[in-house]
Chains A and B, each alone.
Chain A
Amino acid sequence: MTAAGSSTSSAFPPAIELRGINKHFGPVQANRDVDLTVPVGTIHGIVGENGAGKSTLMSILYGFYQADSGVIEVGGQVCPIHGPEYALAAGIGMVHQHFMLVDIFTVLENILLGAEGGALLGPGMAAARAEIARLEADYGLEVDPDALVGDLAVGLRQRVELLKALYRGANILILDEPTGVLTPQEAERLFEILTAMRDRGVTIILITHKLQEIMAITDNVSVMRAGQMVAHRETAQTTREELAELMVGRQVLLRVEKSAADPGDVVLHADGLSLIDDAGVLRLDGVSLDLRAGEIVGIAGVTGNGQSELLEVLSGIRPPSRGRLSVHDRVIDHDHPCEPEEMRDLNLAHVPEDRQRMGMISAFAAWETAILGYHRDPAYTGPILLKTDAIVEDTDGKMDRFDVRPANPQLTSDSFSGGNQQKLVLAREIERRPDILLVGQPTRGVDIGAIEFIHRQLIEMRHAGCAVLLVSVELEEILSLSDRILVMFEGRIVGEVAAADADAQMIGLMMANAHETENAAANG
């Protein structure tokens, strides 16, 4: 373990200095003797696998938790932070992964929220408007102060969060996975803003698991593993490979090795699938696609452009409003819906996008989650009673084969880390040897070590002749796993590219539907 500090020498005291931070939740030591020094006016990355303790450390810094022991210094002064209000007073602001905004308020109202500056809104509003104009000019944070937040795109909402923090006088900003919801273009714009901020003396702490972002924007980087700080590096002096190794504690293969695909027959055929949701909004708009045995088809797109709905329709959770779907010989349309149970009988398996919300039941024991969807299988249940012993034994095997740790089927599902939960869900679906596998966000919230394993499993399924449909917001994942890539935008498939011909820039433009607009402009 290296000593605290970075090589950036400065006459100023560091913006943040943490010394000997310890925090445990019950038997879990989330932070152990953590030291961290962040010099003023730098962008400092913190990387680590899920559960490495990054979020806990930042929550301590922002005052959501109190450390069991340790010292926090801000600007060279010892600064006890007993709550977020203390953090704000010390000039620390936080932008959460999930925005804390009121949709039905305007941008201005959101920025003012909690800092109204008096019983009457009027004077505060006027002052805020001027201040926001200044911040916009300084950092290029353009956003219409009178727009309703609910109407804004995700990237703009994030700017509102940044403005909120800056308006409160923050000169130290913590950003938690800020690019998770952004298109590549939006992410790039964010980085420009962050760089502008740094140049004006704002200190930024960036929590992320995307190593390319660390390499692209940070000045220094600290790596956490298992609650401890394992390394501090100057970004210019390190490589992605080194960081990955530090995070996982062993060498990691970042590229997926795979042979050429050998697609077989069409096993799933969608023809003009549309879905109108309960609110009457068109979520899927005439989606047509073919899925062949032995290929991986990737669906790229910014979150919320119909990928989730596509998975729900293909897996039988929702019947299509219009259009037809054929799975093997079964034809499904609005009047002939196919329930998820029947889909499973058709040998279609589905790894849902959001395992917490759909793929598992947090309160269930692992063995109960391991039969979710297959609990009516005679192997698992008799006429009345569940065959608990058989299920537990079966789960034991799955955990063994998929390296789920801790390998204890009796633990509740939510006591596993994200990666292990995902491995359990994958084991459940993959071990049914499906002909068709729908996979949503297979590596979301999954640590690097497990990503490698999961990717290998998907490739193996392809080799075994399974048709895999992969939905992911991780462009890199789509690019490296897929044989063909479909891009979704506003419920439509706006483009198809063979993986060999694709690159991130091109797909990114398609995800924002920019090329089509350009075409339209050219045609008009």
Chain B
Amino acid sequence: MKKLLTILNASAVLLAATATVALAADKMPAVVFDMGGKFDKSFNQGVYDGVEKFRKETGMKYREFEVKNPTQREQAVRKMAQRGSDPVLGVGFAQASAIEKGAKAFPDTRFAIIDMVVMQPNVQSIVFKEHEGSFLVGVLAAMASKTGKVGFVGGMDIPLIRRFECGYIHGVKHAMASATVYANMTGTTPSAWNDPTKGAELAKSQFDRGADVIFAAAGGTGIGVYQAAKDNGKYAIGVDSNQNHLHPGTMLTSMLKRVDVAAYNTFKSASDGSWKSGIQVLGLKEGGIDWALDEHNRDLITPAMKAAVDKAKADIIAGKIMVHDYMSDNKCPK
């Protein structure tokens, strides 16, 4: 055993040596996807799209790793840094402590994290104001509704999704104080992100109760919600990326959370030298959050709706409307 170890060690050193030589030439950026994997049709995939866009545009390769258990988060982040990757991008709030430890251990490496704040001099933290975007689509939902009842289908019941929900409710009430909002979470386990069947069921039950617009913030589960809306001739609102094209005519709009842009920008700015550490809060103002208006839903958005949502957007940016952030106090005031 000991002998084997020695041999293995020796060769490891050799390999490591050759690797370092190769690495010194070009510092690759690296991304650590979280549990769920890069093809989760949701958050991780958004990041994947962004870094792929970066690779295609610049021709620069990147390292990647998909963690399978909590311990691998730190392992992967450290390993990326050890290999001389720069910057190292952590996907999702769950990687915060891993990024923090990595940043302390490798002060000369640049790190970035999406959806969480890590206060370290060499970390760029990118967070989104999902509640602002949710507010806007809430306004649209209330105005598009004929019944005065709208729905919300969340994915896994975590604070982040409640932030969507809370912003949405505020938007709805802002446009129509008497409106009713039905809200359901798909589940409490990660499988809730990818359960279109359940999504469709929840949507149908909300339609049955009179809702005619449903906002789904539920990853892959949303696909079922959109399909149910199409089948029932009601409206659905997409999330994260522009999903209007899925069912033109029944997709009222999509709330945009540009994770891909954030990931792309981090790699891009690092390669051209404009990278900055610190917190980047991406809201309406910064263009990280928005609502989607394109050829697929132009006919559904009346001038009055557009005017109202534009005004709300301007007011939020100007600070005249303060959308409550659920995660500031884990409460959603009615």
Physical contact A–B (CB less than 8 Å): no
> Could you tell me which A residues sit within 8 Å of B by CB distance?
none
> Could you tell me which B residues sit within 8 Å of A by CB distance?
none
